[in-house]
Structure 1
Amino acid sequence: MKGTGTPAAMAECEDELTPMMSQYFELCAEYDSAMVLFQVGDFYETFCEAAERCARLLEITLTSREDSTGEYPMAGIPIDNATSYVETLLDAGYRVAIADQIEDPSEASGVVERAVTRVITPGTVLDDALLGADNNYLACVGADEEESLAVAFLDLSTGSFRVASGTERVIQDELDRQQPTELLIDPPLEGTISTDCTETIDDSISFESDAAKQRVGAYVPSPEAVFETTAELIACGALLAYAEYTQGVSPGGLASVTRISRYAPTETMGLSGTTIESLELFENQHGDDDHTLLAVLDETTTAMGRRTLADWLRRPLCDASAIQCRLDAVETLVATPLVRETLRELLADAYDLERLIARVADDRANARDCRSLQATLEILPAVAGALDTIDCQPLADRRDALPALDGVCERIDAAIQHDPPIELTDGGIITDGYDEQLDSLRSTQREGEQWINELEATERDRTGIDSLKVGYNEVHGYYIEVTNPNLDAVPEEYTRRQTLKNAERFYTPALKDREDAILGASERATELEYQLFCELRADVGDHTDRIQQAATVLAELDVLTTLATVATRRDYVRPAFDGTGSNGAIEIEGGRHPVVETTQPLFVPNDTTLCDERIAIITGPNMSGKSTYMRQIALIQIMAQLGSFVPADRARLPIVDRVFTRVGASDDIAGGQSTFMREMSELSTILHSATPSSLVILDEVGRGTATTDGRAIARATTEFLHDEIGALTLFATHYHELTELADELAAVTNVHFTVDRDGEELTFLHTVLDGAASGSYGVAVARLAGVPDPVIDRVESLHDEDTDANQTATSTTETDDSIDSTTTIDDSSSDTIETHVGDRSLRETIAELSIADTTPLEALQTLYELQRRIDTTNGPPTGRENGRSHRSG
Structure 2
Amino acid sequence: MNADAPSTAVYGAPEEMLAVREDLTPMLSQYADCCESHDDALVLFQVGDFYEAFCGAAETVARTCEVTLTKREDSTGTWPMAGIPIDNAAGYIERLLDAGYRVALAEQVEDTSEASGLVDRAVTQLITPGTVVDEELLEAGRATYLGAVARDGDTYGLAVVDVSTGECLVTGADRALALEELERLAPAELVVGPDCDLPILSFDPMVTPFDASAFDLDSARETLSSYTTQPDAIVESEAELSAAGALLAYAEYAHGEEKLEYVSRLTRFDPREFLQLDATALRSLELFESRSVRAGSTLLDVLDETACALGRRRLEAWLRRPLVEREDIERRLDAVAELTDDALLRDDLNQHLSAVYDLERLVTRISRERANARDLRSLKATLDRVPELTDALADAESDLLRSVRADLDELEDVRELVGDAIVGDPPQEITEGGVIADGFDSELDSVRSTATDGKEWVSNLEAHEQERTGIDSLEVGYNQVHGYYIEVTNPNLDRVPEEYVRRQTLKNSERFYTPELKEREDEILRASDRADALEYDLFCEVRRDVAAESERIQGVAGALAVLDVLRTLADVAVANDYARPEFGSENIDIDAGRHPVVERAQSEFVPNPASLPRGSIALITGPNMSGKSTYMRQVALVVVLAQVGSFVPARSARLPVIDRIFTRIGASDDIAGGQSTFMREMSELTEILHNATEDSLVLLDEVGRGTSTTDGLAIARAATEFLHDDVGATTLFATHYHDLTEIAGEYEGVFNLHFTATQTEGEVTFLHSVADGPSSSSYGVEVAQLAGVPHSVVDRARTLVSDGATENDSRTDERETATRETLDAYIDGLENGHEESEDSTTADQQVVADELLAADLASTTPLEALNLLSELQNRLK
Is residue 667–residue 673 contact of structure 1 (8 Å, CA) maintained in 2?
yes
Give the counterpart of 2:362 among 340, 356, 372: 356
Q: What is aligned with 1:207?
A: 215
Give a deviation string over 1:403-424, Cα, whole Å, max 9, x none: 2411111111111111111101
Structure 1 window deviating more from structure 2 (304-313 vs 800-809): it is 800-809
Between the aligned partners of 2:808 and 2:675, the Cα distance in structure 1 is 35
Is residue 332–residue 645 contact of structure 2 (8 Å, CA) maintained in 1?
yes
Deviation at 1:547, TM superposition (A): 1.1
Q: CA, structure 1 residues 741+870, in 2 after alignment: closer, same or farther (shift >3 Å)?
A: farther
- SS of 1:381 mapped into structure 2: helix
Q: What is aligned with 1:92?
A: 99
Q: What is aligned with 1:406?
A: 412
Give the counterpart of 1:137 among 140, 144, 167: 144
Deviation at 1:781, TM superposition (A): 1.4
Say what the alpha-carbon RMSD is for the aligned residues.
Answer: 2.5
Deviation at 1:401, TM superposition (A): 2.2
Q: What is aligned with 1:370?
A: 376
Q: What is aligned with 1:305?
A: 311
Between the aligned partners of 1:353 and 1:10, the Cα distance in structure 2 is 45
Deviation at 1:204, TM superposition (A): 5.9
Q: CA, structure 1 residues 632+12, in 2 after alignment: closer, same or farther (shift >3 Å)?
A: farther
Structure 1 window deviating more from structure 2 (24-33 vs 189-198): it is 189-198
Within-5 A mapping of 1:112-127: 112-127=119-134
Give the counterpart of 2:771 among 769, 772, 776: 769
Q: What is aligned with 1:483?
A: 489
Correspondence 1:232 to 2:240:
yes
Correspondence 1:148 to 2:150:
no
Within-5 A mapping of 1:160-175: 160-175=167-182
Q: What is aligned with 1:566?
A: 572
Give the counterpart of 1:500 among 501, 506, 517: 506
One-letter amino acid matched to 1:249: E
Q: What is aligned with 1:292?
A: 298
- SS of 1:561 mapped into structure 2: helix
Between the aligned partners of 2:809 and 2:142, the Cα distance in structure 1 is 62
One-letter amino acid matched to 2:372: N
Q: CA, structure 1 residues 613+397, in 2 after alignment: closer, same or farther (shift >3 Å)?
A: closer
Correspondence 1:19 to 2:30:
no
Structure 1 window deviating more from structure 2 (803-812 vs 463-472): it is 803-812
- SS of 2:113 mapped into structure 1: helix
Deviation at 1:145, TM superposition (A): 4.2
Between the aligned partners of 1:636 and 1:797, the Cα distance in structure 2 is 43
Q: What is aligned with 1:589?
A: 591
Between the aligned partners of 2:427 and 2:229, the Cα distance in structure 1 is 39
Within-5 A mapping of 1:664-683: 664-683=666-685
Q: CA, structure 1 residues 218+812, in 2 after alignment: closer, same or farther (shift >3 Å)?
A: closer
Correspondence 1:268 to 2:274:
yes
Within-5 A mapping of 1:551-700: 551-578=557-584, 584-611=586-613, 614-700=616-702
Structure 1 window deviating more from structure 2 (47-56 vs 102-111): it is 102-111
Is residue 422–residue 435 contact of structure 2 (8 Å, CA) maintained in 1?
yes
Between the aligned partners of 1:321 and 1:382, the Cα distance in structure 2 is 29
Between the aligned partners of 1:296 and 1:600, the Cα distance in structure 2 is 13
Give a deviation string over 1:817-870, Cα, whole Å, max 9, x none: xxxxxxxxxxxxxxxxx9xx99999xxxxxxxxxxxxxxxxxxxxx99499799
Give a deviation string over 1:283-309, Cα, whole Å, max 9, x none: 211478622111111111111001000
Between the aligned partners of 1:225 and 1:733, the Cα distance in structure 2 is 49
Give a deviation string over 1:148-204, Cα, whole Å, max 9, x none: 211111011111111110112112211211121111111432544634111112236
Q: What is aligned with 2:71?
A: 64
Q: What is aligned with 2:743?
A: 741
Q: CA, structure 1 residues 167+362, in 2 after alignment: closer, same or farther (shift >3 Å)?
A: same
Q: CA, structure 1 residues 654+161, in 2 after alignment: closer, same or farther (shift >3 Å)?
A: same
Where does the alignment leave 5 or more consecutive residues of structure 1 unmatched?
817-833, 842-862, 874-889
One-letter amino acid matched to 2:733: F
Q: CA, structure 1 residues 384+578, in 2 after alignment: closer, same or farther (shift >3 Å)?
A: same
Q: What is aligned with 2:56?
A: 49
One-letter amino acid matched to 1:181: A
Correspondence 1:223 to 2:225:
no
Between the aligned partners of 2:725 and 2:813, the Cα distance in structure 1 is 34
One-letter amino acid matched to 1:189: C
One-letter amino acid matched to 1:177: R
Between the aligned partners of 2:575 and 2:791, the Cα distance in structure 1 is 47
- SS of 1:166 mapped into structure 2: strand
Give the counterpart of 2:794 among 787, 792, 795: 792
Give a deviation string over 1:387-414, Cα, whole Å, max 9, x none: 2213222211221222241111111111
Is residue 154–residue 175 contact of structure 2 (8 Å, CA) maintained in 1?
no
% identical equivalent positions: 55
Between the aligned partners of 1:795 and 1:649, the Cα distance in structure 2 is 42
One-letter amino acid matched to 1:590: A
Deviation at 1:726, TM superposition (A): 1.1
Correspondence 1:720 to 2:727:
no
Between the aligned partners of 1:13 and 1:271, the Cα distance in structure 2 is 57
Correspondence 1:528 to 2:528:
no
Q: CA, structure 1 residues 864+274, in 2 after alignment: closer, same or farther (shift >3 Å)?
A: farther
- SS of 1:94 mapped into structure 2: coil
One-letter amino acid matched to 2:324: C
Is residue 268–residue 318 contact of structure 1 (8 Å, CA) maintained in 2?
yes
Q: CA, structure 1 residues 338+138, in 2 after alignment: closer, same or farther (shift >3 Å)?
A: closer
- SS of 1:189 mapped into structure 2: coil
Q: What is aligned with 1:429?
A: 435
Correspondence 1:397 to 2:403:
yes
Q: What is aligned with 1:755?
A: 757
Correspondence 1:183 to 2:185:
no
Name the TM-score, length of structure 1 as normaliser: 0.89
Between the aligned partners of 2:775 and 2:804, the Cα distance in structure 1 is 20
One-letter amino acid matched to 1:128: E
Deviation at 1:228, TM superposition (A): 0.8
Give a deviation string over 1:311-358, Cα, whole Å, max 9, x none: 000000011100011011111111222222222222122111111122
One-letter amino acid matched to 1:121: T
Within-5 A mapping of 1:797-876: 797-801=799-803, 803=805, 805-806=807-808, 865=858
Between the aligned partners of 1:697 and 1:497, the Cα distance in structure 2 is 89
Between the aligned partners of 2:632 and 2:571, the Cα distance in structure 1 is 26
Aligned residues: 825
Give the counterpart of 1:242 among 246, 250, 262: 250
Between the aligned partners of 2:809 and 2:538, the Cα distance in structure 1 is 94
Name the TM-score, length of structure 2 as normaliser: 0.90
Deviation at 1:764, TM superposition (A): 0.8
Correspondence 1:438 to 2:440:
no
Give the counterpart of 1:35 among 29, 32, 42: 42
- SS of 1:106 mapped into structure 2: coil
Give a deviation string over 1:23-80, Cα, whole Å, max 9, x none: 1101101111111111111111111121122111111111111122222111111111
- SS of 1:433 mapped into structure 2: coil
Q: CA, structure 1 residues 467+191, in 2 after alignment: closer, same or farther (shift >3 Å)?
A: same
Give a deviation string over 1:682-708, Cα, whole Å, max 9, x none: 122112221111111111122222222
Give a deviation string over 1:100-127, Cα, whole Å, max 9, x none: 1111233323321111111111111111
One-letter amino acid matched to 1:428: G
Structure 1 window deviating more from structure 2 (216-225 vs 587-596): it is 216-225
Give a deviation string over 1:479-529, Cα, whole Å, max 9, x none: 112223333332222222222232222211111111111111111111111
Q: CA, structure 1 residues 612+346, in 2 after alignment: closer, same or farther (shift >3 Å)?
A: closer
One-letter amino acid matched to 2:231: P
Deviation at 1:780, TM superposition (A): 1.2
